[in-house]
Structure 1
Amino acid sequence: MKRLALFDLDHTLIPTDSDHAWGRFMVEEGMVERARFERENLQFYEDYKAGCLDIDAYLRVALEPLSRYSRAELDRFHARFMAEVIAPQILPVARQLVDEHRKAGDLCCVVTATNAFVTRPIAQAFGIEHLIAVDPATEGDLPEARYTGLVKGMPSFQAGKIVRTEGWLAAMGLGWGDFEKSFFYSDSRNDIPLLEKVSDPVATNPDDTLRAHAERLGWPILELFKAT
């Protein structure tokens, strides 16, 4: 039987929050109004860490700037963001973790609450083909279609990660029972629902709440970035 390996992204495979970093990048590039966006970006980030994020309010603010630019313009911005901000954060220890699963033939997927525009190139940089992320809505189905600033479908956040993962598996004719083992690596208290769903949860660089939860249940704790 196959094995399934699911990975959160921010503070799990990379020692930073890609969505928060993209917000800072947009501020520095003049893509958004500095004072207001910095304030909101920081508050949403703190709410996420505290486990009380209003995902709908957050996504309205996070996705609206994408509607201001063509896809070609956004791709140019993102290429610089990857080179200047994200690439230095992709560390060998995280690549090794992913590569161990890929070489074992495991079905690998990044499951993140950050939107797909920001995260798809990051998942690809790890050699992971499959991505479950917040999907920004577009004005049409063409690859160059502009973003609307709205969300398409259910956000992959908290229990929504289970729903989205099960939908992804079902589209391939698969379910949890088709896997000998299912792994999920995450740092966040927000991911406890999906961690409890898989057979092999791994608290990875965990926040204090997840660490306490993992210790209580005897889950393994992995410190990828302890020395960073």
Structure 2
Amino acid sequence: MNHLAVYDMDKTITYSPTWTRFLVETARVESPWRLGLLPVVALAGAAYALRLIGRARLKEIAQRLLLGRRIPEPVAERAAQRFAGRIDDSGVCAGARRQIAADREAGYRLVMATASYGFYAEAIAARLGFDAVIATGVVRTDGMIHAKIAGENCYGPAKLRMIEAWLAEQGIARRESYVRFYSDHASDAPALEWADVGIAVNPHPPLRAMAEVRGWSIEDWVR
């Protein structure tokens, strides 16, 4: 039997979302002038709120504005390691650290499944001792990371599809696996239902209500 503990990242493991913070902190170091484009990023955010663009397109626009149309992989790696260090120092919920340690001790394979981009989420996951990362990919060519998503944005139903694809790639049969899934957000309902044990962590109100109806455990990892 394969024992898997699958964790969402933003606001489940971390106190707050990481994507915008990563963009702003990287722009501040690598291209400070790009911070002047933050109002344009805010306009894109408004377009998303009005459902004029999708979540994936918003991410691409924000990356293009704050990191550029493309960024050399060594620069991205340097930024990812720098950012992961700060998250590890002060951005990880104490309860998340305890649960990760408990799952590792119990023999679970630790998997991070996040809508964040893998090129920086992997650096955070490595510091926390995860065994694998399932995340949103980016287009890479000639040593450059482009402001364009490769494949699906790892969010909502797409996250479950990507988890299932990863299982297939690893040769892990679902019927021979026992899965725990942790998330703070109702968008992860498909994966929470699919798991053997679903845990609503630091849940926002819609997920809390859903968890109460469906009998999922509710945990507070912030306190």
Q: Which interval holds the TM-score relative to the shorter structure? A: 0.7 to 0.9
- Per mean C-alpha deviation after superposition, the further-off stretch among 165-174 and 92-101 is 92-101
- 2:159 corresponds to which residue? 161
Per the TM alignment, residue 215 of structure 1 is displaced from its structure 2 partner at its CA by 0.9
Identify the match of residue 80 of structure 2 among 78, 81, 94: 78
Structure 1 residues 98 and 66 mapped into 2: Cα distance closer, same or farther (>3 Å)?
Answer: farther
Structure 1 residues 108 and 57 mapped into 2: Cα distance closer, same or farther (>3 Å)?
Answer: same
- 2:106 corresponds to which residue? 104
Local SS of the residue matching 2:137: strand
Q: For structure 2, list consecutive stretches of 5 or more residues without a partner in the other structure.
A: none
Identify the match of residue 182 of structure 2 among 163, 180, 185: 185
Aligned amino acid, residue 155 of structure 2: F
Alignment of 1:18-97 (within 5 A): 18-29=18-29, 30=31, 33-37=34-38, 40=41, 44=45, 54-64=54-64, 65=67, 67-97=69-99
State the alpha-carbon separation in 2 of the partners of residues 91 and 162 from structure 1.
24
- Per mean C-alpha deviation after superposition, the further-off stretch among 39-48 and 55-64 is 39-48
State the alpha-carbon separation in 2 of the partners of residues 93 and 110 from structure 1.
16
- 1:173 corresponds to which residue? 171
Aligned amino acid, residue 117 of structure 2: N
Q: For structure 1, list consecutive stretches of 5 or more residues without a partner in the other structure.
A: none
- 1:3 corresponds to which residue? 3
Structure 1 residues 175 and 187 mapped into 2: Cα distance closer, same or farther (>3 Å)?
Answer: same
Deviations 1:46-70 (A, max 9, x none): 968x999822312322443264432
Per the TM alignment, residue 42 of structure 1 is displaced from its structure 2 partner at its CA by 8.7
- 2:210 corresponds to which residue? 213
Aligned amino acid, residue 61 of structure 1: I
- Per mean C-alpha deviation after superposition, the further-off stretch among 54-63 and 191-200 is 54-63
Local SS of the residue matching 2:213: helix
Local SS of the residue matching 1:33: helix
Conserved in 2, the CA contact under 8 Å of 1:66 and 1:74?
Answer: no
Identify the match of residue 138 of structure 2 among 136, 139, 152: 136
Per the TM alignment, residue 33 of structure 1 is displaced from its structure 2 partner at its CA by 2.8
Aligned length: 220
Name the Cα RMSD after superposition. 2.7
Conserved in 2, the CA contact under 8 Å of 1:66 and 1:147?
Answer: no
Structure 1 residues 150 and 166 mapped into 2: Cα distance closer, same or farther (>3 Å)?
Answer: same
- 2:192 corresponds to which residue? 195
Structure 1 residues 101 and 42 mapped into 2: Cα distance closer, same or farther (>3 Å)?
Answer: farther
State the alpha-carbon separation in 1 of the partners of residues 94 and 3 from structure 2.
23
Conserved in 1, the CA contact under 8 Å of 2:113 and 2:159?
Answer: yes
Per the TM alignment, residue 120 of structure 1 is displaced from its structure 2 partner at its CA by 0.5
State the alpha-carbon separation in 2 of the partners of residues 212 and 185 from structure 1.
16
| Percent of pairs with identical residues | 23
Per the TM alignment, residue 2 of structure 1 is displaced from its structure 2 partner at its CA by 2.2
